[in-house]
Amino acid sequence: MSQIENLLSLQETDCRIRELERLQSDIPARKALEESRLDGHRAAVKAAEDYLKTKQAAVKDIEVDAGCLREKIKKLRMQQMDLKTNKEFKAIQDEISGIEAQINGLEDRELVLMQETEEAKTSVENSRSSLASEEAVIRKDIHTWEAKLVEIESEISKFKAEREQKAALIDPVWLSTYRTIFSRRDLALVPIEDGVCGGCHMKVPRFVVHDARKQAEMVKCSYCGRLVY
């Protein structure tokens, strides 16, 4: 095989390795994206749970306030037993009525809060169910990506070994030039077709076309610097 043929074979392997390494580098980002989706569902569960706790605490506060008011009524009724005039009795009775009105207001508010609490519980259950479902899907996806990563790593190792074998067949000067260009370009070695470079698609001088056809020495595109044949 000629140097050009050996280089083309090497380039094919290098392109495959480059593509595999790109896929390899993409997998952690894909996994991170999946985890981010899961974090979003966890945040939704946390928000629903916090909202439920807020409603439950509000109900508890109302129960405490209502309990304090009922104790106050008990004390006032005890005071009524020691009163000597109807005026004093009525004054305390009016105060008791006012407190009872406050209790009624608290109880009305408690009923609303209890309804909101039940709705909040449903929201928590739905959020947890959604999290569980999404977690199962995401864990499966992540497992798939991890298995793919192992497969890619195995392929990269195989192709790298193949690349070393192919590189050993190439003249060191040609190989060094090829590697320098390939590190900066999508392809290091491209064909000339109808007088046009297959890399930059510029029309090259005739002497370049002539020299490239002979394949006796390295020939570069006058514009992009790629090796041409």
pLDDT tens-digit series, residues 41-89: 999 999 999 999 999 999 999 999 999 999 999 999 999 888 889 899 9
- CA distances for 222 relative to 4, 16, 207, 214, angstroms: 18, 27, 11, 17
- Pick 216 or 103 by higher pLDDT: 103
Tokens of 118: 């039940």
Q: Where do the domains of the chain lie?
A: 3-169, 171-229
pLDDT of residue 222: 92
* CATH number corresponding to 3-169: 1.10.287.1490
Q: Which amino acid is at 142?
A: I
**Given a cut of 80, is residue 1 above it in pLDDT?**
no
pLDDT tens-digit series, residues 110-151: 999 999 999 999 999 999 999 999 999 999 999 999 999 999
**Given a cut of 90, is residue 18 above it in pLDDT?**
yes
pLDDT of residue 116: 97
How many CA atoms lie less than 13 Å away from 9 in the CB half-sphere?
15
Percent of the chain surpassing pLDDT 90: 89
Percent of the chain surpassing pLDDT 70: 100
Sign of CA dihedral 189, 195, 197, 198: negative
Nearest CA among 220, 226, 188 for reference residue 8: 188
Tokens of 159: 């192709």
pLDDT of residue 68: 97
pLDDT of residue 216: 82
Say how far apart CA 132 and CA 115 lie, in whole Å: 26
Taking the complete model, does pTM exceed 0.75, yes or no? no
